[in-house]
Each structure stands twice: as C-alpha cells, then as structure tokens.
Amino acid sequence: MLIASEPSVFSKVPNKWGDNGATTIALSAVDETTALSALRMSWRHAAPGKLHELL
C-alpha cells in the first residue's frame, strides 16, 4: 500500500523480511506528516490490540 502510493519514499526490504511486508523509508524524501502516519500504522499493526488506543 505505502510502496504503491509513494514509491520514491517507501520500498520493500530486499530479503525475506520484505517478503513479509517489511518496508524502508527514505528519510531524505519523506515529509514529517507522512513519516508519522506510516510509523503509527506500522506500530498499530505490530502492537497488541489493547495498546492501540495509546496512539
């Protein structure tokens, strides 16, 4: 989703982690709003459901 929407900012990690969805962010190409949104989405995906309300 992120890679398709902003391929100059997001890219798949080039290994098995990337095959499972791991993504890198080109910090030199991303604005603060987009970076924070991506980090929040990633955190919610990985965090237990009971912690989602913390963000």
Give the pLDDT of the chain (55 residues) as one tens digit per residue: 889 999 999 999 999 999 998 999 999 999 999 999 999 998 888 888 888 777 6
> Which pLDDT score, from 0 to 100, does residue 55 have?
65
> Which pLDDT score, from 0 to 100, does residue 50 have?
85
Nearest to 7 by CA among 29, 22, 28: 29
Beta bridge partners of 10: 25
> Which pLDDT score, from 0 to 100, does residue 54 have?
77
pTM summary value: 0.78
